[in-house]
Structure 1
Amino acid sequence: MSENSASFEARLKASAAAVETCLAGILTDRTQADEIARPAPLLSAMRHGVLNGGKRLRPFLVMESAAFFGGDRQAALRIGAALECVHSYSLVHDDLPAMDDDDLRRGQPTVHIAYGEANAILAGDSLLTLAFDIIAAPETNLTDRQKTELVLTLARASGIGGMAGGQALDLAAETSAPDEAAIVTLQAMKTGALIRFACEAGAIIAGSSADERRLMRSYGETIGLAFQLADDLLDLTADAKTMGKATGKDAARGKGTLVSLRGQDWAETRLATLVEEAAALLEPFGARADILNETARFIANRSH
């Protein structure tokens, strides 16, 4: 591992630890203003669904994108935690028998296995709601305008035109194989939309210009494509122990991916091109963009 890679992974781990601490502090049995009670089984299921390790890549992108433009680190940490709640809710629901029917997530039993289907549904619902609570809360030191923009942008990335819509397309793909254009759309919604939000959120937190927001959107879209392509490659080549979840399920279900359509060699070449495209977007910033460039390389080359 190169010195740059080791430094990057240490930075990623430190960020993940900060996010974990932030989320653990939010998900206590202490009620907030206007809350009546926090039922223990539901709280436990939520904690199981979100406090389960992981790279916390999406919050990392929020924090690094905000730092790139000089945004407040603590506000970025809280927005990153909110985004992780949305991401975790999606995993809790995706793992349900009615969706992907998975028993394992990050090497641990999925929420519906550990706590039952009803609690898993409620835990997902509550994590999604909590995300917007975190953004709007007075502890998040941003202006009302910034909070409104973050709420709207995250809602659009999460809902029918983003992640949830992408999951609907993914379910439909099990019975009717999509063509390449449809796969690109599905993946941009299911996976790419939250990664795009993570990068744009940093610019919002920093009060950046419209041009800077557009730049970070483009960067986020590019690395979002890389993330899903790398994920599809891992589904083909990695084992369940390495991944901490079942692998090979897309192929088993006959679900089309760009890797299955174009092949492994094409996917690896395309990944390298996407890393170059991300670097080209940030080239005007020189060394200031080193961490974001390293992030793109990490996404493309990760092994789990």
Structure 2
Amino acid sequence: MDPDLLQFSPGAYLAPAVDWLNKNFHPFFDAVTKLIEAVLGGIEAVLLYPPPYATIAVAALLAAFFVSVRVSVVTAISLVFCLLAGFWTASMQTLALVTVAVIISVSIAFPLGILASRYKKFEAGIRPVLDIMQTVPPWVYLIPAVMIFSLGRVPAIIATIVYGIPPMLRLTTLAFNQVPKDLLELGHATGTSPRSILFKIEIPSATPTLLVGLNQCILLSLAMVVLAGLVGAGGLGAEVTRGLTRMEMGLGLRAGLSIVAVAILLDRVSRGVLQRRQRPGKAA
């Protein structure tokens, strides 16, 4: 028997499908590209237009006002480190890309996670899909994204969104499944509307696990941004790639630590904002 007959190549079926999408939906993909570029460009312009120390001061003041003084100090230290490491522009580009990617990932994963916690058949149906999404090597997501959107930041953010959805979706489902049944029964017994039960009982009870999901989404998005440097996404990922190709340990280490600083910044601010909303009047 010919060994070739036993081989299976998914690419032989997926490549024509991608070509068909490019041919028939090019205006749509072009519109998506322009929208994402406009959003990223706007955020980067806001972050990069003022002098770096002015941006750091404003960010620290906003963190102190909306979260706490402790988070404000962490914000200032993280941004100052990125500046002193020599990667201010790259750090702001990465911050903009990851922020947009995480917001979109959470916006998709959160409602789907609630649906999965409500309908077990839906949860059972998406579980294999999530398993595959989390098992496939992350750089594989860049291949179809680049084939459709070409090189640049757009395929990077699309791949980052896809890679960030599974952990947030899984942990959202887990969080709502862990809400104490007696609280839900009490809400139904008192005639509380489903909307009020969701926002006043379920979400507050699920917040600790939701924060874990948000943290995982941020970390995985940052990991994907590093790989996205291979497709011309710029930012700190490009600096890590440059350090690797040139075998410059100092460059790669500085860029890697800057990514850590951005990760700490995003995690502490997002965590603090959510905790502050759950406990108004108290510092996170």
TM-score, structure 2 length as denominator?
A: 0.36
Q: Which structure has the greater CA radius of gyration?
A: 2
TM-score by length of 1: 0.34
- Larger relative contact order (Cα-Cα within 8 Å, sequence gap ≥ 6): 2
Structure having the higher helix fraction is 2
